[in-house]
């Protein structure tokens, strides 16, 4: 049996991760090798063992998209934590956008949200963010059963006012609402009237071309192909030419 000399240093020098480094849940990391070093041994003494230990560095996720379920209580269970300079906030169709391969973009989807609920979310459940530069507010389809244009106009103004207070350094864009012409005539009329209000807002985004727009059987939710084309249209309209999505 080999005898380890008493003067042989085999204690590992472990590289510690700083306490200030927080890795988000699910963040992928890539191992690196950190080598311990020792001074040259004195003549006649053994060289200490050199051990290698893995160290980790965070790799931020490129696609950041969250679907927020309300679990029956939208006011209490919905919140928004802005962490990137471009925010895409909207209803359930926003969750259908393809993964966006850019660390500047954050997508948050709130299924069933209408204009006034979105205003409450941004005003009361979102911290002020001075780093946010661009906000795309994709709401209105869930107001399709409202026919009072004065109320719709007021709700839209409340949403914009809340957004301006919460994101004081951002520019704001509201897309006109694409909809299926197969919806009931009353609903088509209501959405058309809301679009007329949206089109009066500086920076609004035009609708996706009709030939590119299709929905599922419910006449509400976008098909995957429409979702890809919708993001390409928004990206182009806002001049975000450097942004890309992953094909899925």
Q: How far is residue 100's CA from residue 243's CA, in Å, rounded to a whole number?
A: 8
What pLDDT is stored for residue 239 in this prediction? Answer: 87
Q: What is the DSSP string of 112-149?
A: T--HHHHHHHHHHSS---SS--EEEEE--GGGTT---H
- Asked if residues 177 and 197 have their Cβ atoms less than 8 Å apart, the reply is no
- Asked if residues 195 and 177 have their Cβ atoms less than 8 Å apart, the reply is yes
| pLDDT level of residue 220 (50, 70, 90 thresholds) | very high
Q: How far is residue 55's CA from residue 29's CA, in Å, rounded to a whole number?
A: 10
Three-class SS state of 65: strand
More confident residue, 48 or 207: 207
Instruction: Read off the pLDDT of residues 39-72 as tens digits, 9 standing for 90 and up.
Output: 665 666 656 555 555 566 667 678 999 999 999 9
Burial class (CB within 10 angstroms; exposed 0-12, middle 13-18, buried 19+) of 47: exposed
Antiparallel, parallel or unpaired: β 86-90 and 29-35: unpaired
Residues present in the chain in total: 248
| pLDDT level of residue 181 (50, 70, 90 thresholds) | very high
Q: How far is residue 27's CA from residue 11's CA, in Å, rounded to a whole number?
A: 31
Instruction: Read off the pLDDT of residues 126-169 as tens digits, 9 standing for 90 and up.
Output: 999 999 999 999 999 999 999 999 999 999 999 999 999 999 99
Q: How far is residue 106's CA from residue 68's CA, in Å, rounded to a whole number?
A: 13
Most confident of 11-15, 35-39, 217-221: 217-221
């Amino acid at each position: 049996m080999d005898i380890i000399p008493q003067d042989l240093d085999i204690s590992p020098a472990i590289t510690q991760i700083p306490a200030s480094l927080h890795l988000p849940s699910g963040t992928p990391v890539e191992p690196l090798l950190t080598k311990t070093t020792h001074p040259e041994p004195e003549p006649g003494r053994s060289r200490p063992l050199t051990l290698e230990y893995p160290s980790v560095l965070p790799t931020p996720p490129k696609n950041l998209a969250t679907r927020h379920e309300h679990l029956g209580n939208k006011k209490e269970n919905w919140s928004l934590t802005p962490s990137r300079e471009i925010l895409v906030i909207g209803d359930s169709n926003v969750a259908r956008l393809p993964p966006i391969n850019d660390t500047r973009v954050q997508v948050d989807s709130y299924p069933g949200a209408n204009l006034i609920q979105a205003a409450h979310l941004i005003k009361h459940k979102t911290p002020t963010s001075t780093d946010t530069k661009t906000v795309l507010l994709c709401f209105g389809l869930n107001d399709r059963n409202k026919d009072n244009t004065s109320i719709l106009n007021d709700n839209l103004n409340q949403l914009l006012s809340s957004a301006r207070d919460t994101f004081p350094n951002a520019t704001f864009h509201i897309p006109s609402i694409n909809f299926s012409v197969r919806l009931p005539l009353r609903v088509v009329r209501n959405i058309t009237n809301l679009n007329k209000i949206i089109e009066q807002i500086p920076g609004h985004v035009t609708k996706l071309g009709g030939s590119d727009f299709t929905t599922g059987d419910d006449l509400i939710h976008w098909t995957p192909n429409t979702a890809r084309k919708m993001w390409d249209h928004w990206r182009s309209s806002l001049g975000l030419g450097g942004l890309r999505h992953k094909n899925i």
